[in-house]
Structure 1
Amino acid sequence: MASTSELFVLTGASRGMGRAMASQLLARGGVQLLCISRGSDAALDAEAASAGSQVLQWSADLADPLPVAERLAGWLAAQAVPSRAVLINNAGTVGRTAPLARATLPELSAALRVGLEAALLLTSVFLSATRGWAVPRQVLNISSGLGRNAMGSQAPYCAAKAGMDHFSRAVALEEAGEGGARIVSLAPGVIDTDMQVALRGADAGLFPDRGRFEALHRNGQLDSPESAARKVLAWLERPDFGATPVADVRNS
């Protein structure tokens, strides 16, 4: 089939940096964007129409990722080959900030399914469905410094992001060579999002590091979602994207 517009699949597009990335991608024009989030945003439809892009929004809970991955497989199989195909695994959840011994089993399961299992399944589907496309293919996993530096009362989030980093390393080995997809697990820095609000509002008795996050906010050290989105999307345009499968925007 002939190449059409650039195709992007983005999870967690309804809030924070994900919402900012969705807006900035659509503004490029000529983009086909599939957003997968728990909620949808009518404003994205208007932004797409104004910029000459297309947006499709699926309302889905990635705490139950298998049906979403199966649906994505069918959707990708029905698409014309684009000029470029990109998967951005952005969805994640910090959950309730508490020591592992104080967490509930459903909370732990949901955190790992959203933050790690969903990304793994969607990456598998994306790589399989696009394998015959002779166009640039990229997977961008949104990781975190907490995947590389442990913090108490954040065990499920740390585990999910560390797992994301390491499966990205493994996939980079599998996809090495001509025609392979390029993958990066990228830490975007500290961003003024709902996650930061949750960490600043956590019970200090359960989260000894709360003061650190309060100081980041108080001292103006948090990046805006819009600024962080620009840095993350700029990483996709680097000619060496994928050369280092685990990276941090602050070390560019």
Structure 2
Amino acid sequence: MKKAIVTGHSKGLGAGITAALLADGYNVLGLSRSALPGFEAGLEQVALDLGDVDALAAWLDGGELESFLEGAESALLINNAGIVEPIAPLGRQGSAAIARAVTVNVSAALVLADAFAATSTNVADRRLVHISSGAGRHAYTGWSVYCATKAALDHHANGVRQDALPGLKIESLAPGVIDTGMQSTIRGTSEEDFALRAQFVELKATGALASPEEVGAKIVEHVTGKNFGVEIITDIRTA
């Protein structure tokens, strides 16, 4: 039986990934603050705010992850949930926004990765995917927090590779620019806070943004394929 856990599964890229996994015969456990409508067979959903460390810890202590993975022949964890805010230069970011970004983008992903590794030891083929970003590999003005959190995922993947855990493959995978709510947030930012705003407005206007469904399908094809884990820091546009 093929099983997958997807964070932030109810919108954008997460919904695209979830749809592709279900089409490929996976049982999916989705973790998100909101539910994904229109899917029933093969999908379990948990309402969980990954920005709430206590709620995440309580959910993990309840044993639901271990129960879901029971009987799996192959297992995936796709850490997709992420937020781009705060978008602003240093000094205008705000403590609460910084702390939430680090919690959602980094802490929750690392905590879930650890729990997944601990509860999937009997699974012969287990794969861990961090959805990273080109912003983790190239700095952008106004995005210092987002860049730092995505770079953390990249380096975490490199460290896990050194652990050489039996049966575990890992990648930190950049998905490219996608037409999601995150892009809307970026376009809605003032040029004072994000000097590159006009470039992202142009991407939308010229149709240069990929669809979440298209990219989700490409990601699932790659992460379930034979080349997954050969390289650790990857980009779906070149994988």
For the superposition of Structure 1 and Structure 2, which TM-score range results when normalised by the shorter chain? Answer: over 0.9
Q: What code does the residue aligned with 1:13 have?
A: H
**C-alpha distance after superposition, 1:186-228 (max 9, x if no partner):** 0011101111111112101111010111121122211011111
Alpha-carbon distance change, 215 to 42 in structure 1, aligned in 2, over 3 angstroms = closer
Q: What code does the residue aligned with 1:68 have?
A: L
Q: Which moved more, 1:163-172 or 1:70-79?
A: 70-79
- Pick from 104, 114, 135: which aligns with 2:94? 104
- Pick from 3, 23, 26: which aligns with 2:19? 23
Q: 1:76, 1:130 within 8 Å by CA — same for their partners in 2?
A: no
Q: What code does the residue aligned with 1:23 have?
A: A
**C-alpha distance after superposition, 1:87-119 (max 9, x if no partner):** 000000011321121011110000010001110
Of structures 1 and 2, the one scoring higher in RCO (CA 8 A, sep 6+) is 2
Q: Distance in 2 between matches of 1:154 and 1:160?
A: 10
- Pick from 52, 55, 66: which aligns with 1:64? 52
- Pick from 154, 157, 165: which aligns with 1:165? 154
Give the aligned partner of residue 227 of structure 1. 214
Q: So what's the TM-score if we normalise by structure 2?
A: 0.94
RMSD after superposition? 1.5
3-state secondary structure, aligned to 2:103: helix
Shift of 1:67: 3.5
Shift of 1:69: 4.5
3-state secondary structure, aligned to 2:38: helix
Identity within the alignment, %? 36
Q: 2:16, 2:213 within 8 Å by CA — same for their partners in 1?
A: yes
Q: 1:168, 1:184 within 8 Å by CA — same for their partners in 2?
A: yes
Q: 1:147, 1:161 within 8 Å by CA — same for their partners in 2?
A: yes
**How many pairs align?**
237
| 1:144 correspondence with 2:144 | no
| 1:213 correspondence with 2:200 | yes
Q: 1:98, 1:153 within 8 Å by CA — same for their partners in 2?
A: yes
- Pick from 5, 8, 14: which aligns with 1:9? 5
Q: What code does the residue aligned with 1:137 have?
A: R
Give the aligned partner of residue 89 of structure 1. 79
**C-alpha distance after superposition, 1:8-40 (max 9, x if no partner):** 0000011101011112211233x2211000111
Q: Distance in 2 between matches of 1:189 and 1:165?
A: 15
Q: What code does the residue aligned with 1:115 have?
A: N
Give the aligned partner of residue 35 of structure 1. 30
Q: What code does the residue aligned with 1:249 have?
A: I
Q: 1:87, 1:138 within 8 Å by CA — same for their partners in 2?
A: yes
Alpha-carbon distance change, 91 to 192 in structure 1, aligned in 2, over 3 angstroms = same
- Pick from 228, 232, 238: which aligns with 2:225? 238
Q: Distance in 2 between matches of 1:231 and 1:65?
A: 31
Q: Distance in 2 between matches of 1:22 and 1:144?
A: 19
Give the aligned partner of residue 44 of structure 1. 39
Shift of 1:251: 1.8
Q: 1:66, 1:118 within 8 Å by CA — same for their partners in 2?
A: no
Q: Distance in 2 between matches of 1:150 and 1:70?
A: 35
Shift of 1:134: 4.0
Q: Distance in 1 between matches of 2:132 and 2:57?
A: 20
Shift of 1:249: 1.2
Gaps in structure 1 of 5+ consecutive residues: 49-53
Q: Distance in 1 between matches of 2:224 and 2:89?
A: 39
Q: Distance in 2 between matches of 1:143 and 1:205?
A: 26
Runs (4+) off by over 4 Å: none
3-state secondary structure, aligned to 1:250: coil
